Amino acid sequence: ADAGGITKTWIKKHIILYTGATRHPFTVRIRDGSIDPSAFKRWLAQDYVFVREFVPFVASVLIKASKQSPEDMEVVLGGLASLSGEIDWFKREASKRDVSLANLTVHNATRNYCRLLEKLTLPEVEYAVAITAFWAIEAVYQESFAHCLEDGNNTPPEFVEACQRWGSPGFREYCRSLQQIANRCLEKAPEHVVAAAETTFITILEHEIEFWNVSSGGT
């Protein structure tokens, strides 16, 4: 297999969708400084809902990883552990910006994405499919927010901290580890599992785009 593995060939094959998720107008506007602060607030509240649902999903990946490889388990455990601090960060950030997390409206795109996570949490979902989904979810945020910190950015100071959560070199390394695990699993997986993982990858990208759309759009 080539260096980037199967996941890299999928990125190339689905580059329009991938770019749609990783260079969405919402994050591009953070980078160029034209972001509407109310759009950021909308994103913050919806992502808080998402991250709460993400915890049981990652826990399910942890259980699957623990049955496959001790090294994989440690990588996934690191990700799960960091979600505790992430939830705290959302709460702090929301209170700073006067965003109520108590009785917020859950948008359709958020609900749909949470439903997808719930399905991917089921024990019958193959480890190779689950870890591919996990990698794709994290990679979209990593690529999106790293771009906001790259050379030539005009990211307003008040959003730099958020960008650093997912755009940092540490998060990039963590995503690389997930990608390597996914590649290794996919190499060994039977054809129908590889096909299911590719479909899941595409579905994740579509849900990420819909999710960003909610943040940038009106209500």
Q: Is 93 in the site for ligand HMH (CB under 6 A)?
A: no
Q: Is 48 in the site for ligand HMH (CB under 6 A)?
A: no
Q: Is 141 in the site for ligand HMH (CB under 6 A)?
A: yes
Cβ at position 50, least distance to ligand HMH in Å: 5
208 included as an active-site residue: yes
Cβ at position 51, least distance to ligand HMH in Å: 5
Cβ at position 110, least distance to ligand HMH in Å: 8
Is the Cβ of residue 94 or residue 189 nearer to ligand HMH in the bound state? Answer: 94
Is the Cβ of residue 114 or residue 186 nearer to ligand HMH in the bound state? Answer: 114
Residue 5 near residue 187, CB atoms below 8 Å: yes
**Residue from 51, 59, 73, 149 that binds ligand HMH (CB under 6 A)?**
51
Q: Is 57 in the site for ligand HMH (CB under 6 A)?
A: no
**Residue from 10, 40, 48, 50 that binds ligand HMH (CB under 6 A)?**
50
Q: Tokens for 204?
A: 């994740």
Give the count of beta carbons closer than 10 Å to the beta carbon of residue 88: 10
Q: Is 114 in the site for ligand HMH (CB under 6 A)?
A: no
Q: Is 47 in the site for ligand HMH (CB under 6 A)?
A: yes
Q: Is 211 in the site for ligand HMH (CB under 6 A)?
A: yes
Can you tell me the distance from the alpha carbon of 26 to that of 43, in angstroms, rounded to the nearest whole number? 9
Cβ at position 156, least distance to ligand HMH in Å: 20
Can you tell me the distance from the alpha carbon of 64 to that of 131, in angstroms, rounded to the nearest whole number? 9
- Collect all residues with Cβ–Cβ distance below 8 Å to 9 and sequence separation of at least 6: 2
Find the catalytic residue in 93, 126, 198, 208: 208
**Residue from 138, 162, 178, 179 that binds ligand HMH (CB under 6 A)?**
138
Q: Which positions are catalytic?
A: 208
Residue ranges binding ligand HMH (CB under 6 A): 47, 50-51, 137-138, 140-141, 208, 211
